[in-house]
Structure 1
Amino acid sequence: MSTANTSGSWPSMSTTPPNLSGLGTDHVTWGIPAGGGGKSGYIFRGGTVEVQLDGTEFTLGTFTHENFPIQGMPQSQFDVDLTVQVVFEDGTRTNFSFRFHHNETPNVGPSPEDEVDLPTFISPETVVVDGTEYAVLISGFKQNGVVVRKFISPENGANSADVVAMFARAGVPDVHISTVRYKGGVKYTQADEYVEIVNRGTAPADISGWVLGADDAGQDYRFPPGTILQPGQRIKVYTNEVHPESGGFNYGIKRPIWNDKGDTAKLRDTGGTVVSEYAYGDRVPAAQP
């Protein structure tokens, strides 16, 4: 683990809106106010972070969208570029760039909230540490403890989220079980139990035919053909619920699967090799003195 300081600036936009100001700083604004709330804009605030090179997530910085009704925009969808400078404790400085895609939705109708997402979650720049090349992979926007890939921003306010990222080896996938929710809230069946799996690498991972299980009969789930995990993507395999936003995978079993006292979830590739495992409860190895 090492300490790094992050800071950011918005160097460019793909459109030229009226009242544009702040390019090259950490606070860019644009638009002709249509009400009393002022212009819209983006803010990025960095800070001191603890970073690791094993796929552990950290907060790259805080993103804020100032979302107020504006007019005079030449187009409703456009890109805003972000440059994040990371200064490691040994003095190494590296810039990483990302593109934010903005959808300035109409302020009327069933979904007036603006939307912000990233066309790609991987920095094109890399850094070499101890002979290994790493890129920065953004997992998503973290709001209320949940990491999402698309930022939904209500009107008439400043809406913020942590930008969660990790250092990932360049050019390869890295699939891991990130958590097991082994105590569901649905009475008797615990249908809302799930195992979350994430690709912590910078290349897509084809997990077609891979098996998620725990060495017990009835606990094997085989991923269907065409199951591809994009860099940073998270999916969940539920016991007996369907959630399309997290992949829509489920065992379809009307009883609890994961032992409340303890178990070990294992993910195996098509050759039977254990790619990742996650122990919880009484299966967690005792800490060494």
Structure 2
Amino acid sequence: MSWKQTELNSSTKTNTSPQYSYFDFVQKPIEIYVFIDPLCPECWSLEPYLKKLSIEYGRFFTIRPILSSYANPLNKDHFQQPKKLKEIWERTAKRTGMSCDGDLWLENPISSPRIAAIAIKAAELQGKKAGRVFLRKVQESLFLKKQNISDERVLIDCAREARLDIHEFRNDLHSTSARKALQCDIKLTNEMEVDYIPTMVFFNQRIDEQGIKVSGLYPYEIYVRVLNEILQKRPIPSEKPPLEDFVAFYHVVATKEIAVVYDWSLAKAEREMKKLQLKQIVNKIPVKHGTFWRFIK
């Protein structure tokens, strides 16, 4: 498996036929490696696009998160410049609409990011879906609640919210298996020469060809264009679910995520969520930037 970093332009040719075979539903042809750092606000800002891509074209691909903390320029500061980190977080939140409260670095700084990374790999031992749900809970605890995700008690709370087997998670958290899984992610990051996060690498598992590497945060249309090129066709996007079903599935969502997924303005997304709030379907979560909502179970 190899990769290439391509420059996409308007001359990119794809088959415009919307047809796809039965096997697209049986075995997903595309695998997307998403290189992230759970502490990275840019990676957090990728969430709206990943959600939309999964809803519209998820029948064609699986997502594999790869933890690449050392590739994050923020980590090269060794957490010795909390004011600088606070400023970076605040700027990112204002620019992207995905709240991340930079006061964390002054009030409750992260002491050991490696512990959080090992915890995510421990969660993945209970299944890929379990790992992804746990990762999201860790990000919510960090960016919205200003919690120290290197604290084992915080990680256990995240595991409960992700509905993991807590006994199994506690054991895996201190296991060789979780540490080895993290080392595999680091090795893969090196092999693919990922030096910036977030980075996404698209592979077609059925065709022996190079993957496409996209480093940084881009508009949604760029990711769709890459997917079209790797599929060699332009499939019709799946219909979006009713808003209430979307919120019920993800439990905690940002107004920005809703706006991106449904192609709405932030103002319209806010209005629609307030309607659900009046119906007592969601609660509004107080955050420093933007707006988040929690589904009432």
The alignment's TM-score, normalised by the length of structure 1, stands at 0.23
Relative CO higher for 1 or 2, CA cutoff 8 Å, sep ≥ 6?
2
Q: Normalized per residue, which structure has more helix?
A: 2
Larger radius of gyration: 1
Q: Normalized per residue, which structure has more strand?
A: 1
